[in-house]
Amino acid sequence: MIRHSMDIIQNNVEFLNPGQTPVVAFDQPLYALAETIQWNWPDAYGENKFVIMLGGRHVEMAAWKTLGDWLENSGWTALLVDAHAASSGKADSFLKASHDSRTSLTKIVPCFLALDHHHYARWLPVHIRDMITLEKTCSAVAREFQNGNFAVKKSLRAFSKIPVDHAHEQNNKCVKGDGGAIWLTENTSELLRWMISGPEISRMFSEFEFSQEFVGVTSRNTASLKHHEQSNAMQSRFMKDVKSLTEAFDNMSNPFIDDSGDVLNIDTKETMNGGVVTTISSIEAIGEKQYKEFVETRLEKKNVSLFETVKKNKLSRFGTSPVKETSRQMLQITSLKKDSLGPSAKNTCPQIDALILDGAAIVNLLRPIGCKTFEAYAHDVFIKYVKSRLANVSRLDIVWDGYLENSLKATTRSKRGKGIRRRVLPDTRIPKNWSTFLRDDNNKSELFAHLAQQVTSIDCSPKEVVSTYREEVLVSSQRDLSDISPCSQEEACTRMLIHALDCSKVGLKKVMIKTVDTYVLVIAVALFQKIRAEELWLEFGTGKHTRYISVHDIERALGHVKAEWLTVFHALTGCDQTSFFAGKGKITAWETWKAFEEITPSFQSLSSIPQASTILDVLPDLERFVVLLYERTSTTRSVNEARKELFTKKNRPMDALPPTSAALLQRIKRSSYQAGYVWTQSLCKDPTLPSPLE
């Protein structure tokens, strides 16, 4: 649209004044497009073909809005209203860009940058550069500008020149009239008549007004040539407003004579925080520094793209809410990370030998955008992603979930709802609702099998792609798979650790697992010594939110003993398969473990194939742990007694009480099954798992 408009303007200018270079003023969004057009098509729209300007009216409005954002809630509006210099609405408009000013552009840009108004901050330097180099690019227009012909003079009155875009807005107002174009769009014939007659009517009115001014000049009515603010009445009103404003300052305790050193709201006398004081004292220097760096790196040296994101300063202003203090919970989390986990997370990808992907998580991540069939999804989306990840490793494993009916995980999946069953064949059309499709276990099983076959058929020699295929394993090369196939592990989260162990056995000692389940970290820490890798990493998140967790560093920070029994702690205090204690999160539970180290042997007893008698033996210690979880100062060892004490003596509500002894026993059994049977046997191809129904 902008290119078409520029073509029309060029043709009209050539018709009216042959040989003249068109001068076009835009607001910021359209200016950005016009400049981009000039850079992309220099032969037709280059800087010697068009002079593109940022509209002065819009720049002034943006500048006032920026200053208004800074002064908002400073009490300035109340001061103007109290002085009767303006109504409340008009005073607010002074801070919201509804009147003009004359300001040097090079002084405005630092303000835009400092106060994070980046649209004009990005493009005003381009406009300034174009105006500085105008003598070289279009000397004829430069000479006219130097003679003062860079603005529009629609009147014979003094001081009446206005920016080009301002004149254009006035013409629009004349064309639209009081009612504008409302309702015209619903009547085609009326709209066409208005489009033809509107501009002509506007022209007639403008010529009539100009002729009346000319008549006034010829009749030597010099008063008609003065600016409207040159009248005695206007000057008297201005002086009255100045005096009223001065009196209002005095009535509000003039802040300019305050020697306390504080920054106050003029109206409420509220003392501003240190951030506002810092902003006032340093905003000019910050803006100037950013402006200088912006011009140097993006316009002169051009080692940074003009379109690169400009970092925000987020300076405190009068209207900025005070910074909230760090909550107690966040302090606890920070302390936990420092004391127990150490510096285990990083934002940059470490150098690794092998990568293991949670296939189901990747499928949920990779939406079939633009794919019509499952065959297209496999080749255009999934395999493309696999190849991109394979580029930096020697081996890539993809591990898929299995779906057993009688398992704790099946109960969790049932809560997510059911999807519509659809057969997965290469030429089957992909359903529109991908998430609903993935809620059906049969759909996922067929899709995972199809993707496993497709991905292991690619030629990636000398690298290797390994993928689970139901209980079997497929590989893109020929080698012995007896250590990992067949495998009856249900969850990819545990089966991935078998593949990590296999990588370690074949000499790939730096392994990374990409997953979305946090309990994989818990299991990996507990089994790290058995996996025998030099480095074991977990990748969480996508894009800029990706984090790489060092399992080996966490294991060393916790110590081998505590790390090995971490699975029981995690299962007991809440995970996907077990519920959480009401109102008690992992931080509170972790602090309780640190305060009650005697519970560690009980965790150890439950961590490896616990029997019913074992659970009964450790029940008293676990009850004491739960009591301390809910009330650190309690001396009782029974959860039933603790419930009675907290309810009767401390007025705790029912939902803030620990579970009963019977309920806790069932929780311990479920946690023991998950941690002591399922997770403990994560490195076994064919784990022996009793039925959860027993």
Give the tens place of pLDDT for each residue, 374-401: 999 999 999 999 999 999 999 999 999 8
pLDDT of residue 98: 42
Q: Is the peptide bond before 462 cis (omega within 30 degrees of 0)?
A: yes
Q: Please name which of 621, 626, 541 lies closest in space to residue 583, comparing C-alpha atoms.
A: 626
pLDDT of residue 101: 40
User: Tokens 């060092």 correspond to what residue?
Assistant: 550
- CA-CA distance, 454 to 477, in Å (whole number)? 14
327: pLDDT strictly greater than 80: no
**Sorting pLDDT into bands at 50, 70 and 90, what band is 99?**
very low
pLDDT tens-digit series, residues 519-538: 899 999 999 999 999 999 99
**Size (the chain), residues:** 694
All residues at 6 or more sequence positions from 320 whose CB lies less than 8 Å from its CB, including other chains:
275, 276
Phi, psi of 606 (to 5 degrees): -90, -5
pLDDT tens-digit series, residues 268-305: 667 777 778 788 888 889 988 989 999 899 988 888 88
The arithmetic mean of pLDDT across residues 21-50, rounded, is: 90
219: pLDDT strictly greater than 60: no
223: pLDDT strictly greater than 80: no
> Maximum Cα–Cα distance for the chain, whole Å?
116
The arithmetic mean of pLDDT across residues 354-364, rounded, is: 93
pLDDT of residue 394: 94
Q: Could you give the percent of the chain with pLDDT greater than 70?
A: 81
DSSP string for 316-328: --TTPPPPPPPPH
pLDDT of residue 478: 85
pLDDT of residue 404: 59
User: How much is the mean pLDDT over the chain?
Assistant: 82
Structure tokens at 237: 């009103």
Amino acid at 452: A
Q: How many CB atoms lie within 10 A of CB 383?
A: 18
Structure tokens at 597: 């180290």
Phi, psi of 466 (to 5 degrees): -120, 135
Q: Please state which architecture CATH assigns to domain 354-558.
A: 3-Layer(aba) Sandwich (3.40)
**Sorting pLDDT into bands at 50, 70 and 90, what band is 244?**
confident
251: pLDDT strictly greater than 90: no
Residue 634 near residue 645 (C-beta atoms within 8 A): yes
pLDDT of residue 102: 38
**Sorting pLDDT into bands at 50, 70 and 90, what band is 146?**
confident
The arithmetic mean of pLDDT across residues 187-202, rounded, is: 70
103: pLDDT strictly greater than 50: no
Residue 398 near residue 468 (C-beta atoms within 8 A): yes
**Sorting pLDDT into bands at 50, 70 and 90, what band is 517?**
confident
Ordered by start, the domain boundaries in the chain are 1-215+224-234, 354-558, 564-678
Amino acid at 136: K
Q: Of the ranges 318-322, 405-409, 446-450, which one carries the lowest mean pLDDT score?
A: 405-409
Cα four-point dihedral sign 291, 296, 298, 304: negative
613: pLDDT strictly greater than 80: yes
Residue 26 near residue 165 (C-beta atoms within 8 A): yes
**Sorting pLDDT into bands at 50, 70 and 90, what band is 407?**
low
5: pLDDT strictly greater than 90: no
pLDDT tens-digit series, residues 156-180: 777 778 887 787 777 666 656 555 5
Strand stretches in 148-249, DSSP E:
152-153, 161-162
pLDDT of residue 165: 79
All residues at 6 or more sequence positions from 425 whose CB lies less than 8 Å from its CB, including other chains:
374
Using alpha carbons only, what angle is made at residue 291 by residues 289 and 296, rounded to the nearest 5 degrees?
A: 95
All residues at 6 or more sequence positions from 68 whose CB lies less than 8 Å from its CB, including other chains:
94, 95, 96, 97
pLDDT of residue 100: 41
- CA-CA distance, 517 to 540, in Å (whole number)? 8
Helix 519-531 to helix 551-558 angle (10° resolution) is 80
- CA-CA distance, 267 to 91, in Å (whole number)? 14
pLDDT of residue 650: 85
Q: How many CB atoms lie within 10 A of CB 175?
A: 19
Strand stretches in 530-589, DSSP E:
535-540, 547-550
Residue 74 near residue 279 (C-beta atoms within 8 A): no
- CA-CA distance, 492 to 571, in Å (whole number)? 18
Please, what is the end-to-end C-alpha distance for the chain in angstroms? 72
